[in-house]
Structure 1
Amino acid sequence: MRNNSGTGWLLAAPLSFVLLVFLVAPVAMIVVVSFWGATEWSIYPAFQFDNYAFLFTSDVTYRVFLNTFKYAAITWVCTLLIGFTVAYYLAFHIRTQTWQIALFLLCTIPFLTSNIIRMISWIPFLGRNGLANSALVSWGVIDAPLEWLLFSDFSVILAFVHLYTLFMVVPVFNTMMRIDKSLIEAATDAGATGWQTLRYVIVPLTKPGIMIGTIFVVALVMGDFITVRFMSGSQSSNVGRMIQNDIGLLQYPSASATAVVLLITVLIFIGTLLRLVDIRKEL
């Protein structure tokens, strides 16, 4: 028993060292710096709550966090609808595993390019003189170009959905593929309609995959800043952009405090999801 215990600790030591150096230590440093002070020309070590006091007493903070939650919620709904539909079609309407794999890989082709390239590709399409407005005007659907297609919340959410839908498709599809098909046949034999089978059999059994996809999508959206910057034309903001602005002004303690609050918010959200659904069997 002692030898086995020692071997286990020895095998876990390299990974533990990597996590300690590249995860725990940076986060700890951010927490420490969040209590430091800063002036216009210097940063000095201290233990004070000025950064957090300013953060929680500013109306801008609440508006930015509310905007971040709005982006995360709308993106989550859109990615869930698209991701669940794609995964359902691949899992239950494609009969052969070869075609399932082929079509799934087809869905991943756009994600072989950089996020920046895929995001910026929307700009010439959504612009005032872009392909979308030109087509709508030429078809007589609209009389003048639509201004809200680009540099708006619509374009930000569209880019988010485009960038992160795959993170919802993968876990949902993986969970659906594990569903015993005999359960679907039993529901059909019992007289259940397609909607009833979906609601009472497929959706409950797919909850772990939905939760994993939710964690991926929400965490990525709340930490993203470059998409909001480019797709809103710097007319909107989220927590990531607020941190970026502080870093650009060399206000590292303020940026660290904001990052700590964001991290705690995301961890509370993930902890709540983990209490609702046991996703360990899917990992």
Structure 2
Amino acid sequence: MSTIRERSPAAYLLALPAALWMTAAVVVPSMLILWVSFWGGRRFTWENHLVLDNYARFFRNETYVGLIGETALQAAKIMAITGVLGYCIAYFLAVMVTRNSVRLTLFLILVIPFWTSAVIRSIAWIPFLGVNGVINQALMFLGLTDAPVEIFLYSRTGISMAQVSLYTLLAAGPVVYMLRNVPNQLREAAMCLKAPPIVVFWRIVFPLTLPGVIIGQVLVFLNVMADFATVAAIGGNKQALLGNLVLLFYDSGQLRYAAVVGVMLMLSMLVGVVVALRVVDIRRLGE
């Protein structure tokens, strides 16, 4: 047990390296982006006046404003799908599989693909989603369709399928940890009292694993909101979210508007995380 008291000088000293790193890697760049979003001049100078014109022009464009809602809706959809799939995978690994060697093997099978770049994993979906891809060939082989279906590639459906495959493990990981910490005696005691399995799960297991669910959903939310590689690879030029808008403005040299969109993304992520933290105390994850 640690002998360092909370808010003691030693505690602050131990936290200092992390605080300095977070300041240099997160706070300073964020403040720089915020400052650039208020630029009033045509070029970079320290004498630029700070104005609200960049934000006014952004919000006057209905397409840009609509992308905020579309990005949030896409994040909510992926969170819902990965939340259910992730919990099922986590429950199977942590509860249904009893042998540690089998559990480790299955976990490695899920983790190994994530050792490659997210861009490579996104591009790898193209042969599956194309008109002549694996999915269409399987549908025609099974007789479910007479001709190739064009809704998979360069569509929001294909983007969602790729993102679900990329982020389901993020939703499952924290839940596995929480499920492993739920004592079997609680489930056994409830079953001895004639509680149905669904009641045992809903009244005992799920509340105890809720911090892990929230952590996983926060990870999925942040990744989907910032994802531009998957949208660019699978959606092509037909689909875009806020992350792609940042890249578009940056490539065209419109740094002020790229910074405005970056600020919108940061605010959206901050609001989402604050809402998640209001739902449950995630500090229980470490108990």
User: If the length of structure 1 is used for normalisation, what is the TM-score?
Assistant: 0.93
* Structure 1 segment 179-198 matched on structure 2, within 5 A: 179-198=182-201
User: Is residue 41–residue 49 contact of structure 2 (8 Å, CA) maintained in 1?
Assistant: no
Change (3 A) 1:194 1:9: closer
Tell me how far 1:5 sits from its aligned partner: 4.6
1:114 to 113, 117, 122: 117
Identical pairs, percent: 34
User: Is residue 122–residue 229 contact of structure 2 (8 Å, CA) maintained in 1?
Assistant: no
Task: Say whether 1:48 aligns with 2:51.
Answer: yes
Match of 1:33 in 2: 36
- Mean Cα deviation higher: 14-23 or 235-244: 14-23
Task: Say whether 1:67 aligns with 2:103.
Answer: no
Task: Say whether 1:199 aligns with 2:202.
Answer: yes
Match of 2:135 in 1: 132
Q: Which runs of 5+ in 2 are unaligned?
A: none
CA distance in 2, matches of 1:58, 1:124: 36
Instruction: State the SS of the aligned residue for 2:258.
Output: helix
Change (3 A) 1:256 1:142: same
* Structure 1 segment 1-283 matched on structure 2, within 5 A: 5-37=8-40, 39=42, 42-44=43-45, 45-283=48-286
Tell me how far 1:137 sits from its aligned partner: 2.1
CA distance in 2, matches of 1:38, 1:104: 53
CA distance in 2, matches of 1:78, 1:5: 44
CA distance in 2, matches of 1:277, 1:127: 41
Tell me how far 1:89 sits from its aligned partner: 0.8
CA distance in 1, matches of 2:112, 2:254: 40
Cα-to-partner distance string for 1:209-240 (whole Å, 9 max, x where unaligned): 01000100011000111111111122111110
Q: Which runs of 5+ in 1 are unaligned?
A: none
Tell me how far 1:197 sits from its aligned partner: 1.4
Cα-to-partner distance string for 1:100-144 (whole Å, 9 max, x where unaligned): 233222211211111112111111111111122123223322111
User: Is residue 38–residue 253 contact of structure 1 (8 Å, CA) maintained in 2?
Assistant: no
Tell me how far 1:99 sits from its aligned partner: 2.8
User: Is residue 223–residue 240 contact of structure 1 (8 Å, CA) maintained in 2?
Assistant: yes
CA distance in 1, matches of 2:249, 2:21: 29
Cα-to-partner distance string for 1:186-211 (whole Å, 9 max, x where unaligned): 11111111212121111111110010
User: Is residue 228–residue 234 contact of structure 1 (8 Å, CA) maintained in 2?
Assistant: no
- Mean Cα deviation higher: 13-22 or 82-91: 13-22
CA distance in 2, matches of 1:200, 1:246: 49
CA distance in 2, matches of 1:182, 1:97: 20
CA distance in 2, matches of 1:27, 1:268: 16
CA distance in 1, matches of 2:279, 2:8: 33
CA distance in 1, matches of 2:135, 2:10: 62
CA distance in 2, matches of 1:193, 1:11: 48
User: If the length of structure 2 is used for normalisation, what is the TM-score?
Assistant: 0.92
Change (3 A) 1:139 1:97: closer
